[in-house]
Amino acid sequence: MSSAPSLGGALAAGCALAAGLSLHGALHRNSPVFGRVISRLPGGARTVALTFDDGPNPDATPRILDVLAHEGAPATFFILGRHAERWPGLVKRAGDEGHCLANHGYHHRKLHLRSPSYVRRDLELGTSAIVRASGREPGLFRAPHGFRSPWVSAIAHSLGQRVVGWSLGVWDSARPGVDAIVERTLAGVRPGSIVLLHDGDGYDPDGDRLQTADALPGIIQGLRRAGYTLLALPAA
């Protein structure tokens, strides 16, 4: 009797591998399966990018912008289109103060199970809201929760937007306390890290993100004491 695997077994193994790759591509924020993702800053220098998702928010975003201005620190804001429509002045302020404005879509729906037409519409609406508020075209896109499908990256690229993941998430959206947010960031950061923080709530326009705002001075000062330089993500 032959010891070679059966055709059926080989097909089953191939299907399992394909399913595993698809799952990784859909759910892992930095997976290259569905296209290249920017997951860290280039080079080996002690640089860090602070990024903020889901804003703007009428309480947290102004305080975060105040801290960034006081510290002379640039950041990147992945803006949610429907929130930009409610508070366009905050989007404009962030752009005018030199921060990178990036697209986070419009509705904050998980995109890995959405149709190509839905994804395109969501990204286009998010882009339009940013442009109307700030006069600036976003050159970067981050999918809500980092979830993607085979066509998400292609659609983003067709709009002139590169896809961004993140190196370090500290779960500040769970509101673990100011000290915990600071400690998780400083303990987890590495040269080239892209740090995921939140200045808004993707599901509640008025959601509380003040812990993140209050943690920001400690994060910036701690990073600088450790010899890090803060950078905004390159928009092009």
Active-site residues, by number, are 53, 198
* Helix, strand, coil share of the chain (percent; to 5): 45, 15, 40
**Helix/strand/coil for 176:** coil
**Cα–Cα distance, 17 to 178 (Å, whole number):** 42
Tokens 């860090």 identify what position?
48
DSSP collapsed to 3 states, 10-66: HHHHHHHHHHHHHHHHHHCCCCCCCCCCECECCCCCCEEEEEEECCCCCCHHHHHHH
Phi, psi values for residue 58, rounded to 5°: -70, -20
CB 148 within 8 A of CB 111: yes
CB 199 within 8 A of CB 77: yes
CA proximity to 232, closest of 15, 10, 89, 48: 48
